[in-house]
Amino acid sequence: MRGPFRLSLVVWLVVGLIGAGGVAYLVLDKDTEVVYVAARDLPAYHQLTRDDVRMTTVRARDVPQDAIRDQRVLLDRYTLAAIRRGQPYGQARLGPRLAAGSLAGPLVALRADAETTMGGRITQGDRVDVVMSESTIRDALVVDVVDGPNAAVILRVPASEVADVAPVRGDDGPVIVRTRPYSGP
């Protein structure tokens, strides 16, 4: 009789510990938020679609202050840096909303300084003309303006124009002329 009684006592003890652990988890880990996260690893300058976002519960300490909680705000925006699968989307890591397919095509980086950024007035989503010594690229999309020692203006240009932009280097750089400020998709 002692054998089965002891075994049932051990089973009940294990069940009780598991139950207590579950209750403790639910009580102690209430600090969570429901946010949208990357459904897969995404590269920089990737335009978001429904397949790129999923809603999930995340520990509050892992959620950026500028986290996005509305899927409509996410769709058709684009990443400014690579985003890992499961990482919450934050406003600061995304460019503005663009018409679907706006980033289809090659991206080029041009040296950025006060002249090429119009004193810092060129921003993401602007449309610009790039005037070079022998040609002009019309209606290029400003995807990003990167600050720092390797400052650059990232542009989406038609594939047929890449050969004109590729050789631009150094002091004989282009002049960028804003033709339309960003006003939405």
Range of the domain at 137: 107-180
Residues 116, 86 share a domain? no
In angstroms, the CA 114 to CA 57 distance is 43
Within a domain: 185 = no
Instruction: Tell me the per-residue pLDDT of 153-175, one tens digit each, with 9 for 90 and over.
Output: 888 888 887 777 766 655 456 66
Lowest mean pLDDT among 19-28, 102-111, 129-138: 19-28
Residues 113, 157 share a domain? yes
Instruction: Tell me the per-residue pLDDT of 3-46, one tens digit each, with 9 for 90 and over.
Output: 566 667 777 777 788 877 776 666 555 688 889 999 999 999 99
Domain boundary among 67, 93, 119: 93
Any idea what DSSP says for residue 160?
Answer: G
Q: Is the pLDDT of residue 50 over 90?
A: yes
| Most confident among 75-89, 108-122, 147-161 (mean pLDDT) | 75-89
**pLDDT score at 1:** 46
Q: Which of 80, 86, 87 is nearest to 143 (CA)?
A: 80
Residues 117, 60 share a domain? no
Within a domain: 125 = yes
In angstroms, the CA 140 to CA 155 distance is 6
Within a domain: 2 = no
Long-range contacts from 160-164, C-beta under 8 angstroms, 24+ separation: 161/137, 162/106, 162/108, 164/132, 164/134, 164/135, 164/137
Residues 37, 88 share a domain? yes
Mean pLDDT across the chain: 82
Question: What's the CATH number where 40 sits?
Answer: 3.90.1210.10
Within a domain: 24 = no
Residues 166, 118 share a domain? yes
Within a domain: 147 = yes
Within a domain: 169 = yes
Longest dimension (CA), the chain: 99
Q: Which of 70, 61, 5, 1 is nearest to 32 (CA)?
A: 61
Q: Which of 176, 182, 171 is nearest to 155 (CA)?
A: 176
Q: Indicate the pTM of the whole model.
A: 0.72
Mean pLDDT over 60-82 rounds to 90
**pLDDT score at 53:** 94
Q: Is the pLDDT of residue 144 over 70?
A: yes
Domain boundary among 69, 93, 117: 93
Domain boundary among 93, 115, 145: 93
In angstroms, the CA 134 to CA 105 distance is 23
> What domain count does the chain have?
2
